[in-house]
Protein backbone atom coordinates (compact mmCIF):
# COMPACT_ATOMS: atom_id res chain seq x y z
CA UNK A 1 0.00 0.00 0.00
CA UNK A 2 1.03 3.57 -0.55
CA UNK A 3 2.25 5.64 2.36
CA UNK A 4 3.54 9.16 2.67
CA UNK A 5 6.02 10.31 5.27
CA UNK A 6 6.60 13.87 6.28
CA UNK A 7 8.95 15.28 8.89
CA UNK A 8 9.50 16.92 11.23
CA UNK A 9 6.10 17.15 12.88
CA UNK A 10 6.83 20.47 14.54
CA UNK A 11 9.50 23.06 14.01
CA UNK A 12 10.30 26.39 15.63
CA UNK A 13 12.75 28.49 13.68
CA UNK A 14 14.01 32.05 14.08
CA UNK A 15 13.41 34.63 11.40
CA UNK A 16 16.17 34.56 8.82
CA UNK A 17 17.07 30.93 9.38
CA UNK A 18 16.93 28.30 6.61
CA UNK A 19 14.24 25.66 6.25
CA UNK A 20 14.15 22.15 4.89
CA UNK A 21 11.06 19.96 5.09
CA UNK A 22 11.16 16.51 3.58
CA UNK A 23 8.46 14.29 2.19
CA UNK A 24 8.81 10.75 0.87
CA UNK A 25 6.29 8.41 -0.67
CA UNK A 26 6.35 4.63 -0.62
CA UNK A 27 4.46 2.07 -2.61
CA UNK A 28 4.07 4.04 -5.82
CA UNK A 29 6.24 5.21 -8.66
CA UNK A 30 6.28 8.48 -10.54
CA UNK A 31 3.73 10.11 -8.24
CA UNK A 32 2.48 13.64 -8.63
CA UNK A 33 3.59 15.41 -5.46
CA UNK A 34 2.35 18.60 -3.85
CA UNK A 35 3.19 21.01 -1.07
CA UNK A 36 0.28 22.79 0.60
CA UNK A 37 0.17 25.27 3.42
CA UNK A 38 -2.69 25.80 5.81
CA UNK A 39 -2.53 29.25 7.36
CA UNK A 40 -5.08 30.56 9.83
CA UNK A 41 -8.32 31.39 8.03
CA UNK A 42 -6.80 30.61 4.64
CA UNK A 43 -7.73 27.03 4.01
CA UNK A 44 -5.33 24.89 2.01
CA UNK A 45 -3.09 26.85 -0.33
CA UNK A 46 -1.15 25.01 -3.02
CA UNK A 47 2.49 26.08 -2.97
CA UNK A 48 4.29 23.74 -5.36
CA UNK A 49 3.61 20.66 -7.42
CA UNK A 50 5.83 18.23 -9.23
CA UNK A 51 5.04 15.70 -11.92
CA UNK A 52 8.52 14.19 -12.02
CA UNK A 53 12.16 14.40 -10.95
CA UNK A 54 13.46 17.93 -11.30
CA UNK A 55 10.08 19.24 -12.43
CA UNK A 56 8.72 21.89 -10.10
CA UNK A 57 5.88 24.31 -10.64
CA UNK A 58 5.18 27.16 -8.30
CA UNK A 59 1.66 28.33 -7.67
CA UNK A 60 2.27 31.49 -5.69
CA UNK A 61 5.25 33.83 -5.40
CA UNK A 62 6.83 33.46 -2.03
CA UNK A 63 9.89 33.00 0.05
CA UNK A 64 9.95 29.25 -0.45
CA UNK A 65 11.29 26.83 -3.01
CA UNK A 66 10.84 23.14 -3.72
CA UNK A 67 12.97 20.41 -5.19
CA UNK A 68 12.45 16.83 -6.29
CA UNK A 69 15.81 15.10 -6.30
CA UNK A 70 14.34 11.60 -6.48
CA UNK A 71 11.14 10.09 -7.79
CA UNK A 72 9.56 9.69 -4.40
CA UNK A 73 11.16 12.58 -2.53
CA UNK A 74 9.88 16.14 -2.38
CA UNK A 75 11.62 18.87 -0.39
CA UNK A 76 10.39 22.29 0.66
CA UNK A 77 13.08 24.85 1.43
CA UNK A 78 13.77 28.41 2.31
CA UNK A 79 17.03 30.29 2.57
CA UNK A 80 15.69 32.86 5.01
CA UNK A 81 12.42 32.38 6.85
CA UNK A 82 9.95 35.19 7.39
CA UNK A 83 7.36 35.48 10.13
CA UNK A 84 4.69 35.06 7.46
CA UNK A 85 6.04 31.61 6.62
CA UNK A 86 4.49 30.22 9.79
CA UNK A 87 1.79 27.69 9.13
CA UNK A 88 0.94 24.05 8.78
CA UNK A 89 2.71 22.49 5.80
CA UNK A 90 1.32 19.44 4.11
CA UNK A 91 2.83 17.16 1.53
CA UNK A 92 0.49 15.14 -0.66
CA UNK A 93 0.50 12.75 -3.57
CA UNK A 94 -2.16 12.27 -6.10
CA UNK A 95 -4.37 9.24 -6.32
CA UNK A 96 -6.73 10.01 -9.15
CA UNK A 97 -9.57 8.09 -7.66
CA UNK A 98 -9.44 9.79 -4.31
CA UNK A 99 -7.77 13.09 -4.92
CA UNK A 100 -4.89 13.54 -2.57
CA UNK A 101 -3.37 11.48 0.16
CA UNK A 102 -1.80 13.84 2.65
CA UNK A 103 1.10 13.45 4.99
CA UNK A 104 0.69 14.17 8.67
CA UNK A 105 1.93 17.73 8.30
CA UNK A 106 4.60 19.98 9.81
CA UNK A 107 3.68 22.80 12.14
CA UNK A 108 6.20 25.56 11.46
CA UNK A 109 6.44 28.51 13.82
CA UNK A 110 8.79 31.28 12.84
CA UNK A 111 9.78 33.43 15.82
Partner 1 sequence: DQQVKQNSPSLSVQEGRISILNCDYTNSMFDYFLWYKKYPAEGPTFLISISSIKDKNEDGRFTVFLNKSAKHLSLHIVPSQPGDSAVYFCAADTGGYQKVTFGIGTKLQVIP
Q: How far is the CB of 82 from partner 1 (least distance, A)?
A: 22
Pick the closest to residue 110 from 17, 44, 43, 8 (CA basis): 17
Report the DSSP beta bridge partners of residue 89. Answer: 37, 106
Residue closer to partner 1 (CB basis): 64 or 90:
90
Pick the closest to residue 30 from 58, 57, 54 (CA basis): 54
Residues that bind partner 1 (CB under 8 A): 6, 9, 32, 34, 36, 41-44, 46, 49, 51, 88, 90, 92, 94, 98-105, 107
Q: How far is the CB of 16 from partner 1 (least distance, A)?
A: 26
Amino acid sequence: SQTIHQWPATLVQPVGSPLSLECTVEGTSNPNLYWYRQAAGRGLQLLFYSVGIGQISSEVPQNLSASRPQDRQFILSSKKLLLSDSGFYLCAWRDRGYGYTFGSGTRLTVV
